[in-house]
Amino acid sequence: MAQFLLETLPLRPAHSSRLLPCPSAAIHSSSTCSLGRQASRPYQSCTPFGRRPLSRWAPACQVAVLDEPQVGNTPEEDSAPAAESTEEASLDDLYSQFDTLLVDGGREFEAGDMIMGVVTHTDKRGAYVDVGGKMSAFVQTEDITLGPLQKASQILAPGMRRQFMVVTKRMDDASYLSIKNLELDLVWERAKQMADLKAVVPVTVDSQQRAGFLCSFQDLPTLTAFMPASHSPETDIVGKKIDVKIIDCLKENNRLIVSNRAVRSSSSVVRSCKVGQVLEAVIRSIQPYGAFLELDGNFTGLLHISNVSQDRVSRMDSVMNVGDKIKAMVIMNENDGTRVSLSTKALEPQPGDMLKNPGLVYEKAEEMAALFRERAQQATTASQDDPFASQDSTSESVDS
């Protein structure tokens, strides 16, 4: 067959504009045709669409012998339909198992559980929440927040994802949720922190009872505290605002007891301390924004993180620990000793000493405080002569 092709194919002039087809180019991109290699020089290019010869005459033929196709399917092709059917069966099984998990394998939520959900839509009664699976959930408008609320859409919107608390579960597997209960837990947690820190808290005396008074908090909504008569400043205080300390806080029994006497019993040292005075203190609590210091066993001052050192402090717990005894200087004393702000930055001989050698700072505390008071006095004197220079001088003395 190959010999027949060689004899029947005519020669074509090389100057013809038509490119010569080369079947061999589809198999191997060589520079010459395997059958015409002896009849011509190498070609300049070889593509599936043809080649342009370098010699005057092209080779007599461009022939490539291909393997004859096999008759019938390969073993791989024979097994393909069976594999496809097996794969389809496996997918059907997976979908069936997934549906079963949604119906039978879902978690059973109980009252008090914390769950995550996505608000789907709201109406005048409340909001509908998707909590996964096929269980429906609903939060009523009155259970959305501790404060007054007219419509659920004022706080919740479709697509909003947040935490809810399960409060009840109906017979049809629909659950009622609450956000207000979560907020109430946070309020009790904050009250417990205030009690631990012996913080001074303003309250309003709402009514007088047989053994004392009922008070409400401005910063702790919905909580009502009891103040024994022996801990009140006087008897005619209904409707007045007074400062108290939380002396007993127990959420489980809904017990919250406050005292005004604890505020008034602050030591005379704290109440009369002046700006620039050095106090000894014990660290009772460390927060991300600073540390609360116990000054006299019954009062707490704040050392803000910005007043620890002239160098940057990224974390309070990297510099101080609960129970450490330190020395700090008073930089603010308001409300007769009920709000005292402290600083160790002003006591540093060199910037960053609180981070490198806090013992040196405490050793030279009185010396640095005296220097601070001297600068403050100079700023006060300068303010009498030049009122416009007083602000700059005062700020420089505090920063240093």
Residue range 246-281, pLDDT digits in tens? 999 998 888 999 998 887 766 555 667 788 989 888
60-69, 108-117, 367-376: the lowest-pLDDT one: 60-69
Between CA 348 and CA 369 the distance in angstroms is: 10
Query: Which residue pairs from 333-339 have beta carbons closer than 8 angstroms and sit at least 24 positions apart in sequence?
Result: 333/273, 333/274, 333/275, 335/200, 335/243, 336/271, 337/266, 337/270, 337/271, 337/272, 337/273, 337/299, 338/200, 338/243, 338/263, 338/266, 339/200
* Sequence-distant (≥ 6) Cβ neighbours of residue 352 within 8 angstroms: 309, 310, 311
Listed by start position, the domains of the chain span 114-178, 183-264, 268-390
- 268-390 belongs to which homologous superfamily? Nucleic acid-binding proteins (2.40.50.140)
pLDDT band at 295 (very low <50, low <70, confident <90, very high): confident
Q: Does the reported pTM lie above 0.75?
A: no
Q: What CATH class does 114-178 carry?
A: mainly beta
- The pLDDT assigned to 365 comes to 92
Residue ranges of alpha helices (H) inside the chain are 2-8, 75-104, 180-197, 261-264, 268-271, 353-356, 358-363, 365-385, 390-399
Between CA 63 and CA 4 the distance in angstroms is: 11
pLDDT band at 7 (very low <50, low <70, confident <90, very high): very low
In CATH terms, 183-264 corresponds, of 2.40.50.140, 3.30.1280.10, 1.10.260.40, 3.30.310.50, to 2.40.50.140
Closest to 132 (Cα-Cα) out of 96, 164, 92, 180: 164
Domains 114-178 and 183-264 in one fold: yes
Residues 137-173: tens digit of each pLDDT: 899 999 998 888 889 999 999 999 999 988 886 655 6
